[in-house]
Structure 1
Amino acid sequence: MQVSRRKFIQLSALAGAGALLSPALAACGTSDDESTSSTASVNTSVATSLKTNGNLEKTTLRVGYLPITDASPLLLAHATGAYEKNGLQVEKPTLMRSWNTVAEAFQSKQVDIVHLLMPMAIWLRFSKNFPLKLVAWDHMDGSALTVKDHINSVAELAGTTVAIPYWYSIHNVVLQMLLRKEGLQAITLGEPSVSGKTVKLVVLPPPDMPVALSNDSISGYIVADPFNAVAEVNNIGKVLRFTGDVWYKHACCVAVMHEEDVVNNPNFTQAAVTSIAEAQLFAANNKVEAARLLSKDGGNYLPQPLKAIEYAMTHYDHSEYVPSGAITHPEWDNQRIGFQPFPFPSYTQELIKSLRETIVEGDNSFLDNLNPLTAHQDLVNDNFAKTAIEKLGGTEKFNIPEDYTRTEIISV
């Protein structure tokens, strides 16, 4: 199918199309010794500081984001005044067009906090030795595998090309789980074939995906909303499976800050995390209003139409998605997207194990000797999320276990 120039422009506008990814992230040039932290002692000292000194070490917070609903807490904290309430001065968050751009801006310290794909944060920390700290989950679920209307099963993806947002992403992990179940092999080079049971994976910036689907460049894409909703409301594709229906309440994007801020500016860091947690509570309880604030009708943070954003925040209709197979676990208490800040250790550990089974471009040998338990301790500081949760009413408010533990549930 050929797409007219007018239709292409319309779809580009709806999706918020951006520039292509740069070839690779710049190496940060940080040595192992410089980037390795004494996690236990750092976390303890931070917790002590938070209890004894409430003054912010600095007040200006620079926020960067990709225009997806995953970024909602970072954006709604600005829209609702949560940052200001917690003593922070925040200019309007800076919109970026690709994951490479977000990561490069963070590495070069143009911004203080961003949301990153959690596997990407793992890659930056342990492959590139970049000194970052994961301080909170940004959201749960909120992604899907969207395909052309004539495709009714994962098996029918054989011999086609599917887009992912980044090699190190939960999207790539879940997609390859689905492919393996059907006996399909993901490839990164060459042409896919039905007889060979191969599916070619390509990286595309999320804003480019709906256009690529509509002009038949790809058969599907797996990505965060609202780009799945964009396809649905514009009748250019359908959701084949929600990722949260494969991995129960998984993290996708996480909030990361510079390790030096976490260590040297704990009250500044706490103010940022508390603001995010407040925004998560707002989003969880006011999804329609949250969609409006994110859209051009509100704060103009996301370029997509309000209809698509609201659809992405609210539409998880069992009567529609269970018969189609997009939801296979109606008994799970899922929503299309959920919000809570605590970074569960069990998820980090299971994610690292799953990444080892996931095909990516480039060298992923850093995963071979990465201990999932100690990796979580090095990557994550959960004191800030816990403090925010307790300040805002406790675990019950966020619908998470009181003991901050859970068992990962994966059902392909």
Structure 2
Amino acid sequence: MAAPSLRIGFVPLTDVAPVLMADALGLFAQHGVRVTISREASWAALRDKLAFGALDGAHLLGPLAIALATGAAGIRRRVTVTAGLARNGNTITLSHGLAARIGAFEAPLGASAFAAAVHARAEEGLPPPTLAVVYPFSSHNYLLRHWLAQGGLDPDHDIRLVAVPPPQMARALADGAIEGFCAGEPWGSHAVAIGVGRLALMTGDIWRDHPEKVLAFAEGVAEREPEAVLAATAAVAEAARWLEDPANRCAAAALLHERGFPSVPPATLALALEGKVAAPPGGSATVLAAPMRFESASCPQVEEAGWWFDAMRRWGHLPSTATRAEGVAPWRPDLWRQATASLSPPYAEGRASAPPAQPITEEKNA
């Protein structure tokens, strides 16, 4: 009998590494499932394909899984989250012009210093700065909003927030279409390395060890193909463990370049795996206090999904009838436990990371 087959989509970001490595290392096949990997141009395109059956599974934004479950995305689908893919790994990168208005600073940039520059600009009669996130229902949007609110800014009034696909961020910054962005690596490092942007901070500076993307399966797939879903989850978890070994980083960077990021040098991709952000021309790479991690993210934590739900509620991005139980229902740590039970040595579940303290500002939907 032929092995079951799944089609899994991804958007090119370093935190898709466990999925791409599971494919490159033959781990899907070893666990008895055939997987076709599909690179998607944007989160919107991936969402539609996952919702309407063109993809069986995906490297997915955690808040997008909640948006689909509650109908906030304009489509209501119950995806199944069987694994986390990474922790940390996003940069907030500013144009040199916007950074210059702030004055001298070292990363991580404080929210109050950024807010002071925004207010000074408003007093000059200039429009709000334009900052990009990768998608409205994204960790990037909610972590950026949290940081802006810490400085006393209203993200919906004092800032112009737009959505730009991750691979287009550096070009949009260089062209002046945006003045900063929050996106997953390698795109912040890429912008810094080619001289068009300056690192302000990492999202790990806002919520240390926050969860990032998840491995999610389309509605009904886990019920129709349970063995295939468990096998794919086990392969991705095994790849996450492989990525944690420093001896594998050069090989991982080369494979990421080959399979997902042909326009980004392997050396830039390697930095995220090493816990660094690229240096500006003539400078030194920044060593991160909260580097990207894979193995500790593998078990999907319902508690962490709850923070995304609360953030979405805070900013008025959920239907008024949405419940927390409905929003976090896609997270299935029980399936992760089944999938990883046979891995050797035994796979530790890890613990949920504590969310940051909420800024004391008026609730958007109050």
Matches within 5 A, 1:78-117: 78-91=23-36, 93-117=37-61
Is the partner of 2:34 in helix, strand or coil? Answer: coil
Unaligned runs of 5+ in 2: 100-104, 106-112, 120-127, 360-366
Corresponding pairs, count: 325
Check conservation: 2:189, 2:268, Cα contact below 8 A. Answer: yes
User: Are the structure 2 counterparts of residues 302 and 386 from structure 1 closer, same or farther at C-alpha, using a change threshold of 3 Å?
Assistant: farther
Answer yes or no: is 1:146 the counterpart of 2:93: yes
Percent identical among aligned pairs is 23
Matches within 5 A, 1:264-279: 264-279=224-239
Query: What is the alpha-carbon distance in structure 2 between the residues aligned to residue 409 and residue 82 of structure 1?
Result: 33
What TM-score does the superposition give when structure 2 sets the normalisation length? 0.81
Equivalent residue, structure 2, for 1:306 = 266
Deviation of 1:302 (Å) = 4.9
Out of 317, 342, 354, which is 1:408 matched to?
A: 354
Equivalent residue, structure 2, for 1:288 = 250
Out of 81, 89, 106, which is 1:134 matched to?
A: 81
Query: What is the alpha-carbon distance in structure 2 between the residues aligned to residue 87 and residue 370 of structure 1?
Result: 38
User: Are the structure 2 counterparts of residues 303 and 107 from structure 1 closer, same or farther at C-alpha, using a change threshold of 3 Å?
Assistant: farther
Q: Amino acid of the residue matched to residue 241 of structure 1?
A: L
Check conservation: 2:89, 2:185, Cα contact below 8 A. Answer: yes
Answer yes or no: is 1:60 the counterpart of 2:20: no
Matches within 5 A, 1:7-406: 59-91=4-36, 93-127=37-71, 128-150=75-97, 151=99, 152=105, 153-155=113-115, 156-157=117-118, 159-187=128-156, 198-285=158-245, 286-296=248-258, 299=259, 302-316=262-276, 330=289, 334-339=290-295, 340-358=297-315, 364-366=317-319, 368-373=320-325, 375-376=327-328, 378-393=329-344, 400-401=349-350, 405-406=351-352
Query: What is the alpha-carbon distance in structure 1 between the residues aligned to residue 310 and residue 22 of structure 2?
Result: 33
Equivalent residue, structure 2, for 1:24 = none
Q: Deviations over 1:96-137 (max 9, x none)?
A: 111111111212222211111111111012113213111111
Query: What is the alpha-carbon distance in structure 1 between the residues aligned to residue 330 and residue 96 of structure 2?
Result: 40
Deviation of 1:224 (Å) = 0.7
Query: What is the alpha-carbon distance in structure 1 between the residues aligned to residue 149 and residue 299 of structure 2?
Result: 30
Q: Amino acid of the residue matched to residue 316 of structure 1?
A: K
Query: What is the alpha-carbon distance in structure 2 between the residues aligned to residue 342 and residue 141 of structure 1?
Result: 15
Query: What is the alpha-carbon distance in structure 1 between the residues aligned to residue 275 and residue 298 of structure 2?
Result: 22
Q: Amino acid of the residue matched to residue 87 of structure 1?
A: G
Deviation of 1:385 (Å) = 1.5
Check conservation: 2:91, 2:184, Cα contact below 8 A. Answer: yes
Query: What is the alpha-carbon distance in structure 2 between the residues aligned to residue 407 and residue 96 of structure 1?
Result: 30
Deviation of 1:62 (Å) = 1.0
Check conservation: 2:81, 2:215, Cα contact below 8 A. Answer: yes
Is the partner of 1:64 in helix, strand or coil? Answer: strand
Check conservation: 1:141, 1:249, Cα contact below 8 A. Answer: yes
Query: What is the alpha-carbon distance in structure 1 between the residues aligned to residue 262 and residue 336 of structure 2?
Result: 26
Is the partner of 1:379 in helix, strand or coil? Answer: coil
Q: Amino acid of the residue matched to residue 298 of structure 2?
A: P
Query: What is the alpha-carbon distance in structure 1 between the residues aligned to residue 262 and residue 8 of structure 2?
Result: 14
Is the partner of 2:45 in helix, strand or coil? Answer: helix
Query: What is the alpha-carbon distance in structure 1 between the residues aligned to residue 201 and residue 235 of structure 2?
Result: 32
Query: What is the alpha-carbon distance in structure 2 between the residues aligned to residue 85 and residue 213 of structure 1?
Result: 42
Query: What is the alpha-carbon distance in structure 1 between the residues aligned to residue 209 and residue 344 of structure 2?
Result: 21
Query: What is the alpha-carbon distance in structure 1 between the residues aligned to residue 32 and residue 173 of structure 2?
Result: 44
Check conservation: 2:85, 2:213, Cα contact below 8 A. Answer: yes
User: Are the structure 2 counterparts of residues 210 and 157 from structure 1 closer, same or farther at C-alpha, using a change threshold of 3 Å?
Assistant: farther
Query: What is the alpha-carbon distance in structure 2 between the residues aligned to residue 157 and residue 233 of structure 1?
Result: 26
Check conservation: 1:350, 1:408, Cα contact below 8 A. Answer: no
Check conservation: 1:132, 1:258, Cα contact below 8 A. Answer: yes
Query: What is the alpha-carbon distance in structure 1 between the residues aligned to residue 230 and residue 292 of structure 2?
Result: 28
Query: What is the alpha-carbon distance in structure 2 between the residues aligned to residue 300 and residue 202 of structure 1?
Result: 25
User: Are the structure 2 counterparts of residues 300 and 183 from structure 1 closer, same or farther at C-alpha, using a change threshold of 3 Å?
Assistant: closer
Q: Amino acid of the residue matched to residue 161 of structure 1?
A: T
Check conservation: 1:274, 1:384, Cα contact below 8 A. Answer: no
Unaligned runs of 5+ in 1: 1-54, 193-197
Q: Amino acid of the residue matched to residue 209 of structure 1?
A: M
Q: Amino acid of the residue matched to residue 408 of structure 1?
A: A
Is the partner of 2:276 in helix, strand or coil? Answer: coil
Check conservation: 2:6, 2:57, Cα contact below 8 A. Answer: yes
Q: Amino acid of the residue matched to residue 82 of structure 2?
A: V
Query: What is the alpha-carbon distance in structure 2 between the residues aligned to residue 220 and residue 157 of structure 1?
Result: 13
Deviation of 1:381 (Å) = 1.7
RMSD after superposition: 2.7
